[in-house]
A and B are shown apart, each in its own frame.
Chain A
């Protein structure tokens, strides 16, 4: 019930928002935000309850079903969460509310905007709780539609191109997943789409079929992450999307790719994973270095943050390649969470300055620290978090990834990847230097106002959590340990 409501409450919210009168701007804004609160509260309660009552085992908690949904094709309604999905559900709930609050500045076609946003939230929640392949696929796809509209209607100058590129690119990936799902369905006996049953079926498939399914799933998930060389949709989508949508895109959508790898393809096809893990690590390392190098060359603030996502998700891939190490996989989870918090916040902050200055060009700014000190300090705080300053969450995750991966995958690859940290510091510090330090152009930016209370409230929870995870990561790690240990046994089959 709890998990079903995570999906249904935003859906109901969408319908309610659609029925509101067009002119009632504040009613629409607050109604939509109000509908995102129950999932957030439920997910906070779930984190609490899971930590104290369920984190000792790797079993699925709060299970719904399996109920027969479409018995002709053995499709079931089956949901459940474990140690790797609970943090993701929480992240989704938190970032959805934060983004909805950050969307109050939208003045154009408000009703449709908030309706699509709630549909998006329902889809994201669904992906993290679904345990039936069909259900998983439906949620995975359902999100594309609101995302397409959110980028295409409320986006920047090249929004139409970015929207259709995002839609087609991810749909292209999904068709591979569909084929892999159908192959698994028909090779299992009795035919099943239940992910938990298929965990045992995967390793019994022939080597060729395992490789085929693994690669097909990998393509679908890698496009979402995005793993180099499937990343080309990301900068377009990020740059054109409105602020709040970028937050969701970076904070939650990218994680769906890595989450799905951990949930689906990694434990189901251990044989294929073993033979391909080196290449996955290579892709991860390329992503880290490439993303960081391209970030250094960016003139646009938002594009810089977007490419830094490619680099940061590269750490996740490197960790995933080290599938035999608990530290690495935990590091991957940490990286997913901390990237969601930090990059989400960075996009929000870029949005804040863009709303005021109507430009995101790094070179146009300079010395803003004098004029808008509060904004500057928050931005510097998150930049430090992004470059991996100790005591903030980014450091914890990167450290765990490198420690875990060093012994489990090729040492040279890890060595090369560490350069990414230095590069990360370079582009972040350069950005801070160019935007906030140096000469202040009084004539141009004299009228700039500092960050307001609503905007501070939207980034505050992210800042607090970044610090909390950075200072005391143990509770989060404890919550996931049992699940991750179980996953590692499955991957070692």
Chain B
């Protein structure tokens, strides 16, 4: 028997390959120039992300659709698969990386003197991992993508070597990350045993067939589902797997925390979508009880929204506050995930897109403030509206977007998620529990306003002027303006992104009516 090499389709992987090479180039460049140019490196990294995006756009636009030269389709057998959902999430990864790099110029100049190249290189490598993850259609490559995403992030979290909290953050993140990966892998091994394949599309068919034949796959599948939910739950920071989040966010360099909160979360999401909607779709609905993961995930979402939104109220450190806020935001995203209709996944996509702008923007402001004042306490923001009016306005807009106040993008995202859930809840008695999900989501959204408003209150309501003056820096302001533009533009006119996000639903087989 002849062994036939699978179709390679390099063009589909071109952006990833380019970014990988660029990361290597940045590290080499830093070494060969004697580690002197801090800003140049940063701009180079930003340029690399932009070029990757450009390459991706060009291959999508000018690739020969339907042949091996097109962007969409599979490469390396079925290991690598590009569809609209992969493209959408890659845009988010690149956007998050771009904004995280933009807000790290301050720490690069003052704090990380000896490893600037590595800092940017690792960040780009992590982005490459996320992009691979988004394109993998199979458990092994999915796992490798996930590892390539998180391992550089362990290092990045501990990048302030002399700072106890940063090292603590790195260790914590490393141990919990490794543990969760192990759980995930354990779950995968059960799935492989049940389905006899690592290919997710084939797995769906095999598992459904087994289920239909024997009417009961049994406890092993439940075990696999629980293990995988736990494994990815760590990455998504869904309670009760969230304990690492506040400590890591507080200790890690702020841009890294920002990148974690958006990039890593989006990576977890796409992994979740791939495994559960591609592989385990048949076990979503209550008709397949007890192998039902929909309600399990809904429960975690409820926990996330309640816990994130209430604990955030008590925080005095803005990074910890934002950490709890991201836990809550993950809960809202998961509402879209369990709403299994043509809106659900599109809502997930739009939510993370809108969240990227608001959250990266907010972290951008926090990073800029920290660089110039050295403080992350909410009370240090007192009176900032008088000395840095524009910065205060933008931070206010980001926080209001996160709270879901119209006409900002965050509101549109919440609206879409809740719309998806209400549509699903009305579709039959078996799904009416989703009304409760919506109820909890909306109520906790009201709570969330309180802690976001706490920061706004400090900035605006404090009678005296702040002692700090925030100086203008080009890269930070690029990030902030980009976030602002996204939050305002996609709040007022979200149609193009909604359209693009609806292709995510489409690529997983949810046909809009």
The reply on B426 being an interface residue by CB < 8 A is yes
**Chain A positions 54 through 81: 1 when the CB is less than 8 Å from some CB of chain B, otherwise 0:** 0000000000000001111100000000
Contact A186 B426 (CB under 8 A): yes
Docked CA distance A72–B460 (Å) = 37
B-chain residues with CB within 8 Å of residue A138 when the two chains form the complex: 406-407, 411
The answer to whether B457 touches A160, judged by C-beta atoms less than 8 angstroms apart, is: yes
Binary per-residue interface labels of chain A (155-176) against chain B in the complex, 1 for a CB within 8 Å, 0 otherwise: 0000110011001100110010
B449 beta carbon closer than 8 Å to chain A: yes
- Specify which chain B residues have a CB less than 8 angstroms from the CB of A149 in the assembled complex: 460
From 112 to 150 in chain A, residues with beta carbon under 8 angstroms from any chain B beta carbon are: 112, 134, 137-138, 141-142, 144-145, 148-149
- Chain B residues 488-513 with CB under 8 Å of chain A are 493-495, 498-499, 502
Query: Nearest Cβ in chain B — how far from A474, in angstroms?
Result: 40
Q: Verify A172–B446 contact, CB threshold 8 A.
A: yes
User: B423, A167: Cβ atoms under 8 Å?
Assistant: no
Interchain CA distance A145-B397 in the complex, whole Å: 10
What's the dominant secondary structure at chain A's contact region? Answer: helix
In the complex, chain B residues 426-476 whose Cβ is within 8 Å of any chain A Cβ: 426, 438-439, 442-443, 445-446, 449-450, 453, 457, 460-461
- The reply to whether A142 and B446 form a contact with Cβ atoms under 8 Å apart is no
Are A153 and B461 in contact (CB-based, < 8 A)?
Answer: yes
In-complex Cβ contact of A171 among B419, B423, B449, B495 (8 A): B449
Interface size of B by CB at 8 A reads 33
Docked Cα-Cα span, A249 to B386, in Å, equals: 27
C-alpha spacing A191/B400, complex, angstroms: 29
Nearest Cβ in chain B — how far from A63, in angstroms? Answer: 22
Least CB distance, A171 to chain B, in whole angstroms: 5
- Are the CB atoms of B423 and A186 closer together than 8 Å? yes
Chain B residues positioned under 8 Å from A167 (CB to CB): 449, 453
Q: Does B259 contact A (CB under 8 A)?
A: no
Q: In the assembled complex, which residues on chain A have CB atoms less than 8 Å from the CB atom of B453?
A: 148, 164, 167
**Do A137 and B406 touch (CB < 8 A)?**
yes
**Is A178 positioned at the interface, with any CB of B under 8 Å from its CB?**
yes
Residues in A whose Cβ lies below 8 Å from that of B381: none
Nearest A residue to B416, CB-CB: A73
B493: chain A residues within 8 A (beta carbon): 69-70
The answer to whether the Cβ of A182 comes within 8 Å of any Cβ in the partner chain is yes
Chain B contacts for A163, CB-based, 8 A: 457, 461
- Quick check: B461 and A183 within 8 Å, CB to CB? no
Chain A residues whose CB sits within 8 angstroms of the CB of B495 once the complex forms: 69-72
Contact of A73 with B446 in the complex, beta carbons under 8 Å: no
Of the residues A145, A168, A186, A187, contact of B400 by C-beta under 8 Å: A145
Contact of B450 among A137, A145, A168, A186 (CB under 8 A): A168
**Is B43's beta carbon under 8 Å from chain A?**
no
Asked if A182 and B418 sit within 8 Å, CB to CB, the answer is yes
Is A73 in contact with B498, judged by CB distance below 8 angstroms? Answer: yes
Docked pose: A134 CA to B461 CA in angstroms: 31
CB distance from A201 to the nearest CB of B (A): 14
Which residues of chain B from 366 to 398 have any CB-CB distance to chain A below 8 Å in the complex? 385-386, 389
The reply on B91 being an interface residue by CB < 8 A is: no
Question: Which of A141, A148, A159 sits near B406, CB closer than 8 Å?
Answer: A141
A366 within 8 A of B: no
Chain A: minimal CB distance from B448 (Å): 10
Q: Is the CB of A175 within 8 A of B445?
A: yes
Question: Which of B385, B406, B419 sits near A73, CB closer than 8 Å?
Answer: B419
In the assembled complex, which residues on chain A have CB atoms less than 8 Å from the CB atom of B192? none
- In the assembly, what is the distance between CA of A187 and CA of B385, in Å? 45
B426 proximity list for chain A (CB < 8 A): 183, 186-187
Residue of chain A at shortest CB distance from B441: A175
- Known A-B contacts A70-B498, A73-B498, A142-B406; A152 and B460 likewise in contact (beta carbons under 8 Å): yes
Q: Is A185 an interface residue (CB 8 A)?
A: yes
Check B416 against A152 for contact (C-beta < 8 Å).
no
Most buried by A among B445, B446, B498: B446
**In the assembled complex, which residues on chain A have CB atoms less than 8 Å from the CB atom of B385?**
112
A160, B405: Cβ atoms closer than 8 Å: no
Q: How far is the CA of A160 from the CA of B400 in the complex (A)?
A: 17
Is there an interface contact between A185 and B419, defined as CB atoms closer than 8 Å? yes
CA distance A136 to B360 in the complex (A): 30
Q: What CA separation (Å) do A423 and B42 show in the bound complex?
A: 72
Complex CA distance for A171 and B422, rounded to whole angstroms = 19
Min C-beta distance of A75 to chain B, whole Å: 9
Please give, as numbers and ranges, the residues of chain B lying within 8 Å of A178 by CB-CB distance. Answer: 415, 418, 442
B494 nearest CB neighbor, chain A only? A70
For A134, the chain B residues whose CB sits under 8 A away are: 415
Indicate which residue in A112, A148, A160, A175 contacts B446 across the interface (CB closer than 8 Å): A175
Q: Is the Cβ of B502 less than 8 Å from the Cβ of A72?
A: yes
A34 touches B (CB below 8 Å):
no
Q: Within the complex, what minimum Cβ distance (angstroms) separates B461 from chain A?
A: 5
Pair B406/A179 contact, Cβ less than 8 Å: no
Which residues from B are CB-within-8-Å of A145?
400, 405
A70–B453 CA distance with the chains assembled, in angstroms: 29
Q: Which residue of B lies closest to A144 (CB)?
A: B405
Q: Which of B8-62 contact A (CB under 8 A)?
A: none
* Cβ of B459 to closest chain A Cβ, rounded Å: 10
Interface positions of A from 72 to 128, Cβ below 8 Å from B: 72-73, 109, 112
Expressed in whole angstroms, the Cα–Cα distance for A396 and B415 within the complex equals: 43
* CA of A141 to CA of B410, assembled, Å: 13
Contacts of B419 in A (CB 8 A): 73, 182, 185-186
Partner of A179, one of B407, B422, B461, B502: B422
- With a cutoff of 8 Å between Cβ atoms, the chain A residues found around residue B415 in the complex are 73, 134, 178
Q: Give chain B nearest CB distance to A81 CB in angstroms.
A: 22
Determine whether the beta carbon of B442 is less than 8 Å from that of A152.
no
Interfacial chain A residues near B460, Cβ < 8 Å = 149, 152-153
Q: Are A159 and B461 in contact (CB under 8 A)?
A: yes
B445 contact set on A, CB distance < 8 A: 175
| A176-195 contact mask (Cβ, 8 Å, vs B): 1 or 0 | 00110011011100000000
Complex alpha-carbon distance, A320 and B400, angstroms:
35
Known contacts A72-B498, A182-B419; A168 and B446 CB within 8 A of each other: yes
A187: chain B residues at CB < 8 Å are 426
Cβ–Cβ < 8 Å partners of B416 in chain A? 73
| Bound CA–CA A187/B426 (angstroms) | 8
**B243-280 residues at the A interface, CB under 8 angstroms:** none
Which residue of chain B is the closest to A139 with respect to CB atoms?
A: B406
Contacts of B499 in A (CB 8 A): 72
Residues from chain B with Cβ under 8 Å of A153 in the complex: 460-461
Q: A112–B386 Cα gap in the complex (Å)?
A: 10
Cβ of B457 and Cβ of A152 under 8 Å apart? yes
A159 CA / B419 CA spacing, docked (Å): 35
Q: Name A190's closest neighbour in chain B (CB-CB).
A: B513
Nearest neighbor of A171 in chain B, beta-carbon distance = B446
Identity of the chain B residue whose Cβ is nearest the Cβ of A169 in the assembled complex: B446
Residues in A with CB closer than 8 Å to B449 are 167-168, 171
Who on chain A is nearest to B501 by CB?
A72
Q: Which of A69, A179, A182 has the most CB of B within 10 A?
A: A182
CB distance from A190 to the nearest CB of B (A): 10
Residues of A with C-beta under 8 A to B443: 172, 175
What is the CB-to-nearest-CB distance from B417 to chain A, in angstroms, rounded to a whole number? 11
**Chain A residue with minimal CB distance to B491?**
A138
A141 near B498 with CB under 8 A, answer no
Question: Considering the chains assembled together, what is the distance between the CA atoms of A159 and B494 in angstroms?
Answer: 36
- A182 to B405: give the CA distance in the assembly, Å: 17
Q: Given the complex of chains A and B, what is the CA–CA distance between A116 and B240 in angstroms? A: 42
Chain B residues near A182 (CB, 8 Å)? Answer: 418-419, 422-423
Q: List 21 A-B contacts (CB under 8 A).
A: A69-B493, A70-B494, A109-B386, A112-B385, A134-B415, A138-B407, A142-B406, A142-B407, A145-B400, A149-B460, A163-B461, A164-B450, A171-B446, A175-B442, A179-B418, A179-B438, A179-B442, A182-B422, A182-B423, A186-B419, A186-B423
Nearest first, the 4 A-B pairs at minimum CB distance are A175-B442, A138-B406, A72-B498, A182-B422
Q: Give 13 new A-B contacts, CB below 8 A, not counting A112-B385, A179-B438, A186-B423.
A: A73-B415, A141-B411, A164-B450, A168-B446, A168-B450, A171-B449, A175-B442, A175-B443, A175-B445, A179-B422, A179-B439, A182-B418, A182-B419
